[in-house]
Amino acid sequence: MVITSDSTTRAGAGNAAGSSPTPPAGVDVPRGLKGVVVTQTALGDVRGREGFYHYRQYSAVELAERRSLEDVWHLMVFGGLPDTAARAAFAARVAPLRRLPAGLGELLPALARAGRSGGALDGLRTALSLAGAARGVAPLYDADEAARVDDALFVGAVTPTLVAALHRLAHGLAPVEPRDDLPFAANYLYMVTGAEPTAAQVRAIERYLICTVDHGFNASTFTARVIASTGADLVACVVGAIGALSGPLHGGAPSRALDTLDEIGGPERIDPWIREHVLAGDRIMGFGHAVYRTEDPRSRLLRAVAEDFGGGLVAFAVQVERRVVELLAELKPGRELHTNVEFYAGVVMELCGLARDMFTPTFAVARMLGWTANILEQATDSKIIRPSARYVGPPAPQPVPAP
């Protein structure tokens, strides 16, 4: 079923006498599928007007504040939060999956060199394809539920190892082997930096990872589900999702938001810089969201995480946020603009020791858990996602001219 924000069906519009043949029956929907419901999901939802989103039946922000990443991962895959015994069993199940398949480590230096301009995200697409081939990941169409879950857990566990290794190799550093004794977030920071992180850094990055696991039918999640609907293997689905995430309008904004703070430079430059860009109609990276019409709850959470660290960068970011909102109200009355997740995500990741070229790959590390859960859900539906397009080119058929 397709639900549109406009109940008018225009399939027959423009079919007066003398016009082109009647097109196939269809329903016109908004550009970009905005507001169009294409399926049902039990994984979560985004309620943009309320400034609220959830994973299954729980507030995603509350989960980030109260539970571990492993608990949330378990929730997304298996449908419930684990008790103490299930938590230990799940940790024991996924920890060995962090290690690279045999022979893959030898290929990573070449991938790191080839993808240096695009960072670890470029290399991750190929590295995951190789990892899936080495594991023998079968098409979803041919795999049973248990095999699909095993593959999903493997992809979620090995992605941080690949991202960290590609990053270090690109900077002339040797990869760091994963540690089974460290939880997901701590292990990721350890593999990236080569040093065991502080408790504050671990909890901060864990809260960031949890709050970005899933967020409705965004472009990358939808891409993953479209590919899954064809029965392709799970790795093919997440590789397509990574491609969507790499776009600056989707996952590429955290570093750009931090670049904005650098460009402003200091407190005395805040107002002139904002006035210039607002009056010019420029986009201010880290502000605005396609769904939220109020404050992004992820931004609110990450602002609190950043303020726990304190320091000059955090104080400056808070000041810039406040002045953008105030000056926009002055210069463009009636137009609200709030920070989105990317604004404080960049601040938090920098405070946790992650380089800016690792911001979007780290986003992918978190979103991989949401993608794979969506793929598992989509795999239970045998209907391929195959929309239509309205042809607007020259009328056909026309005679083919002689050469």
Catalogue the E-assigned strands of 26-165: 44-47, 52-55, 58-59
Backbone angles phi, psi at 52, to 5 degrees: -140, 140
Per-residue HEC secondary structure of 16-55 comes to CCCCCCCCCCCCCCCHHHCCCECCCCCCEEEECCCCEEEE
Dihedral angle, C-alpha 356, 360, 363, 365, nearest 10 ° = -100
User: Is the Cα dihedral 351, 352, 355, 360 positive or negative?
Assistant: negative
Q: How many other C-beta atoms are found inside a 10 Å radius of the C-beta of residue 33?
A: 15
Pick left, alpha or beta for residue 168 (phi over 0 → left; psi -120 to 50 → alpha; otherwise beta): alpha
Catalytic residue (choose from 74, 289, 338, 350): 289
Q: Which tokens is 174 given?
A: 């040797």
Tell me which residue of 185, 209, 173 sits closest to 98, measured CA to CA: 185
Long-range contacts, stretch 28-32, CB < 8 angstroms, 24+ apart: 28/4, 28/390, 29/2, 29/4, 30/4, 30/5, 30/6
Bridge partners of residue 113, in order along the sequence? none
215 is catalytic: no
Identified catalytic residue from 70, 206, 321, 342: 342
Tokens of 40: 């049902």
- Please answer whether residues 225 and 379 qualify as being in contact, where contact means their C-beta atoms are separated by less than 8 angstroms: no
**Known catalytic residue: 206?**
no
Q: How far apart are CA 384 and CA 389, in angstroms?
A: 16
Instruction: Give the whole-angstrom CA distance, residue 54 versus residue 57.
Output: 7
Catalytic positions, please? Answer: 289, 342
